[in-house]
Amino acid sequence: MKIIVIGAVAAGTSAAAKARRNSEDAQITIYEKDSFISYSGCGMPYFLGGEIANAEELTPRDPAFFLSKYNVEIKIRHEVLALDPASKRVSVKNLITGEAFWDDYDTLILATGARAVTPPIPGRDGAHVFTLRNIGDMLRIKSFLDERKPETAAIVGTGFIGLEMCESLSRLGLSVTLLEKLPQVTPGLDDDMAAYVEEHLINSGIAVLTGVSIAEITEDRVLLADGTSVPAQMTLLATGVRPNAELAAAAGITLGKSGAILVDARMQTNLPDVYACGDCTEQIHVVTGAQAYRPLGSTANKTGRIAGDCATGGALAYRGTLGTGIFGVLGLSVGQTGLTEREAREAGFDAVVCHNIKPDKPEYLGGKEMVIKAVADRATGRLLGAQIVGLAGVDKRIDVLATAISFRANAEDLFYLDLAYAPPFATTKDPVHYTGMILENAIHGARPLMTAQEALARQSAGEKVTLIDARAAAQYEKAHATGAASIPHASLRTAADALDKDTLTITYCNKGTTGNAAQNILINKGFRRVYNLSGGMKQYRIVRKMKH
């Protein structure tokens, strides 16, 4: 059996390694047009920021390693120019010698990855303008930083790479400006969670401009369409990626809606004996069952292993993606998994949302506050997605929630998880437990929540609302929601008798706990429509700030 793999980064090398484990008889060849293989692309921002001393730590394997360990031949600087599925051949060009030749296969695995998207901005071809997609890009940026020693940088795009590079360049002492065409940073988050990230960036000394359009990149500036001039002795375009699927399309391989290669659970394309994996493919979303494009390193490794297994007669099948991811920026951790509130509603779910604000461990041991936004389906109670922003403990919780969603847990199931507890690591009821409790009350316990966005919208529409601030009077005086009346929790049982039980009533406190207690009092007194403000005054403040 002769297997050809196109692409030798995460997915391609994973596919080849698994194929070899399944079969000692297969002849396995990988063609890679780049010079670097099997590298840690996710580590590149940390090398550029000085946290990784040597670039070689990101490229620990070379073709000799794969030949020795797996008996897999990797031919670098060899580009596959065309596929001929009818005769089971590939056209290859040796980029060093210029030689072109055909090679035949029994089974073909496409792991052609993705490339950086660069908007058509005048000046984008300047020597000081970069993308960061591969080791070559990284080395060019490193050389520029060492030789030119820029003092200012503009980063266009605020996804994972943009914000990780923001931190890295800031560590080097550059003055960084973030530019985002959307009205929020971190486009993968809901806007009410992205607002926390933006606030942290600004408080950390980063200039953030959202909702902007770039007119031109000059030698030392980025010019915006509104006339604003941003100092930038270097510019990084971190505006997303596009799957390298043109080779597949030209050969008659079906592409999905995203333009990536369409595969089944066995990573097989529509053509016999042709598989695909990694960033060039679409996956099935665990929650919706629809096609989704989530180009992540962890997904590339998994799909590569499955492709190599199935190409050699194995039975592995991909179970879908949640798009789980996490990144850190200037001390803040940001994690997400599953559907956002926006995506859940677009998919047709009746979404119930909660904002749970809790420390990662007891405050007496230095616990740091995190904000967990969780989304569940009202009809079934199923957990749909979560986003977390915080200074500590985010990775642990987002992984627990991703696991729960993967196994189709309901929100109420979170409370029953037997999670590890000791004061140095967690609170007795973990933030994950509280998230389940809040959602369960909202869905099944007649304790509905209302988001700050909805409360503000109802007020703006002129709807009659009784808004009760259940905190101490001193906290109310310091800051309170527009139109709120100060009725501290301890006084509410008496004061409630003077309130209209038929008017829409919203209770709130600092973060939600006392607001819930106030809500319970009013419900037990016969109030018909009582909501607790999700996330309390903290969430209201960030949303009101976002609106302005």
Which of 235, 232, 177 is CA-nearest to residue 202? 177
Residues catalogued as catalytic: 42
Instruction: Identify whether the C-beta of residue 431 lies closer than 8 Å to the C-beta of residue 358.
Output: yes
Collect contacts of 545-548 with beta carbons under 8 A, ≥24 apart. 545/195, 545/199, 546/184, 546/191, 546/192, 546/195, 547/456
Q: Beta-strand (E) ranges in 367-413?
A: 369-377, 383-390
Q: Are 365 and 424 contacting, i.e. CB atoms less than 8 angstroms apart?
A: yes
Helix (H) or strand (E) holding 45: helix 44-48
Cα Rg, the chain, nearest whole Å: 26
Q: Cβ(347)–Cβ(339) under 8 Å?
A: yes
Q: State which amino acid sits at residue 86.
A: A
Q: Cβ distance 415 to 400 under 8 Å?
A: no
Beta bridge partners of 285: 321
DSSP assignment of 336-347, as one string?
EEE--HHHHHHT
Structure token digits, residue 382: 């199923």
CB burial readout 383-402, b (16+ within 10 A) else e: bbbbbbbbbbbbebbbebbb
Task: Give the three-state DSSP class for 29.
Answer: strand
- Euclidean distance between CA atoms 432 and 300, whole angstroms: 28
Evaluated on CA atoms 194, 168, 155, 202, the torsion sign reads positive
Going by DSSP bridges, is the β-strand pair 129-130/152-156 parallel, antiparallel, or unpaired? unpaired
Burial 294-309 (b: 16+ CB within 10 A, else e): bbbbebbbbbbbbbbb
- Cα dihedral 200, 203, 207, 209, rounded to 10, equals 50
